[in-house]
């Protein structure tokens, strides 16, 4: 119910940030979304907010890697981190974005939780573990959100959950509850909204 209320309000794109100096004041409850490119992050943010295209897929490796801020009502920021794990991203871009990400994660007082998106078909890969380790060292609690669950048969989902649980057990900053979602079918969206609404 709280989740429904929070997400019933206005959602507005605030700004894309490329340097720490561009961050909005840390005066709202903030959650961020991280995941490999193509994991379904834009689709998930669009499903959460009920907008068709508030978050746009940023699948061009050369594109400026911005941290996108969305204002949710007057109390929250949803933060869309650039997708990682591009096969042929230029190394200097990767290094610049990692440096910004590190500063953002370790210095953002208002950041309550990071959602690390994992494709249900693929499970946790080594690039995902790198982000998880960065979250561990930044002491940012993170929670796994499995995406595109509709692409995996019911009977095959438990094996994915097992793999994810085993990997999460090694990360001190991991929140144990895993949320399985489908932006296409709407599965798990209300659960994720409720989790966000519960953070204080
Ligand atoms: P991003 O790069 O992480 O922002 O990924 P997108 O949201 O652009 O999604 C990548 C591709 O996966 C697109 O073709 C989406 O239509 C598809 N996709 C995303 N979420 C789902 C889902 O829940 N179910 C299915 N079947 N496809 C999805």
Q: Rounded to two decimals, what is the model's pTM?
A: 0.95
Q: Over the chain, what is the mean pLDDT?
A: 92
Query: How far, in Å, is the centroid of ligand 1 from the Cα of 129?
Result: 21
Per-residue confidence (pLDDT) for residue 54, from 0 to 100: 72
How many Cβ atoms are within 10 Å of 60's Cβ, its own excluded? Answer: 10
- Distances from the Cα of 24 to the Cα of 104, 111, 113, 159, angstroms: 12, 12, 17, 41
- Rounded CA-CA distance 42/168 in Å is 24
* Residue ranges covered by each domain of the chain: 2-198
More confident residue, 148 or 87: 148
- pLDDT, tens digit, 9 for 90 and up, residues 126-164: 999 999 999 999 999 999 999 999 999 999 999 999 999
- pLDDT, tens digit, 9 for 90 and up, residues 26-84: 999 999 999 998 999 999 999 999 987 777 755 455 455 789 999 999 999 999 998 88
Pocket test for ligand 1, best of 37, 40, 116 (most atoms within 8 A of CB): 40
Lining residues, ligand 1, CB within 6 Å = 35, 37-43, 57, 59, 83, 147-148, 150-151, 182-184
Nearest-atom number in ligand 1 for the CA of 36 is 3
How far is C-alpha 180 from the chain's CA centre?
Answer: 13
Query: How far, in Å, is the centroid of ligand 1 from the Cα of 56?
Result: 11
Instruction: Note the ipTM here.
Output: 0.99
194 pLDDT more than 80: yes
CATH topology of domain 2-198: Rossmann fold (3.40.50)
């Amino acid at each position: 119910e709280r989740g429904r209320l929070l997400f019933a309000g206005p959602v507005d794109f605030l700004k894309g940030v490329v340097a720490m100096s561009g961050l909005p004041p840390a005066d709202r409850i903030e959650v961020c979304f991280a995941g490999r490119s193509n994991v379904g992050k834009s689709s998930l943010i669009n499903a959460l907010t009920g907008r068709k295209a508030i978050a746009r897929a940023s699948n061009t490796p050369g594109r400026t890697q911005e941290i996108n801020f969305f204002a949710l009502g007057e109390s929250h920021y949803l933060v869309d981190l650039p997708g990682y794990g591009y096969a042929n991203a230029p190394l200097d871009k990767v290094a610049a974005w990692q440096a910004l990400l590190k500063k953002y994660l370790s210095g953002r007082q208002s950041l309550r939780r990071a959602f690390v998106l994992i494709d249900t078909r693929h499970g946790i890969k080594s690039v995902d573990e790198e982000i998880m380790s960065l979250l561990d060292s930044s002491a940012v609690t993170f929670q796994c959100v499995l995406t595109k669950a509709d692409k995996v048969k019911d009977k095959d989902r438990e094996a994915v959950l097992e793999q994810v649980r085993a990997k999460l057990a090694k990360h001190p900053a991991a929140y144990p509850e895993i949320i399985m979602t489908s932006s296409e079918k709407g599965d798990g969206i209300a659960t994720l909204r409720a989790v966000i609404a519960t953070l204080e």
